[in-house]
Amino acid sequence: MLTRIDHVGIAVASLEEAIPRYEAAFGLTVAHQETNEAQGVREAMLLVHKGDTGGSYVQLLEPIREDTPVGKFLAKKGPGIHHIAYGVGDIDSALAALTVAGFDLVNKTPVHGTAGSRIAFMHPKGVGGVLTELVEAPEG
Ligand code: MC0
């Protein structure tokens, strides 16, 4: 079902502060930046590796308000790893299989993710305390 680690989502207080740190430490560059209102974040994707099934990224996440998943996470735990995201070829079949297997899905159907991708979150309680995201990359 899984094709790659698509990204590791990291909660930060400020993208302006975090991006140069990741660029300086690892020589990464920002491949994409956007604001996702529905998810309550400003985000930057820094490419780590381009493989046959798509890229792997560090995703820096800054909340746009306090009452958002990343805003609440930052207030409670401070900056750090917020979630892991796995690439899938077909997110609809992946979600159908997880539903049959009894997993607790935050998104029962895919929602809009980075750069036109289709994404869905699984609740951390069902996956060993790790907020887990599935990503189907956009066509092309
Ligand atoms: C909350 N919890 C987490 C967690 N966030 N555990 C591990 N990792 C996280 N990131 C735990 C809390 O510690 C708490 O555990 C319990 O979940 C309830 O926490 P809460 O603070 O009361 O939060 P809720 O219940 O309101 O929401 C938690 C939930 C939410 C996972 C449902 O954060 C959510 O819907 N997340 C999915 C959407 C999201 O994260 N969007 C932002 C990234 P205890 O043990 O204290 O009960 S958007 C993104 O990444 C997009 C742009 C993309 O990739 O394309």
Q: Give every CB contact of residue 94 below 8 A, 6+ residues apart in sequence.
A: 1, 88, 134
Record the pTM.
0.98
In this structure, which residue's CA is closest to atom 40 in ligand 1?
A: 69
Do 54 and 137 form a contact (C-beta atoms < 8 A)? Answer: yes
Dist. CA 50–CA 63, nearest whole Å: 27
The model's confidence at residue 139, banded by pLDDT at 50, 70 and 90, is: confident
All domains of the chain in start order, with CATH? 2-136 (3.10.180.10)
For residue range 26-62, list pLDDT tens digits in order: 999 999 999 999 999 999 999 999 999 999 999 999 9
**For the residues 112-133, what does the mean pLDDT come to?**
97
Whether 22 lines ligand 1, by a CB cut-off of 6 Å, is no
Complex ipTM more than 0.90, yes or no: yes
- CA 52 / ligand 1 centre spacing (Å): 30
The model's confidence at residue 6, banded by pLDDT at 50, 70 and 90, is: very high
For residue range 73-114, list pLDDT tens digits in order: 999 999 999 999 999 999 999 999 999 999 999 999 999 999
Whether 11 lines ligand 1, by a CB cut-off of 6 Å, is no
In this structure, which residue's CA is closest to atom 12 in ligand 1?
A: 73
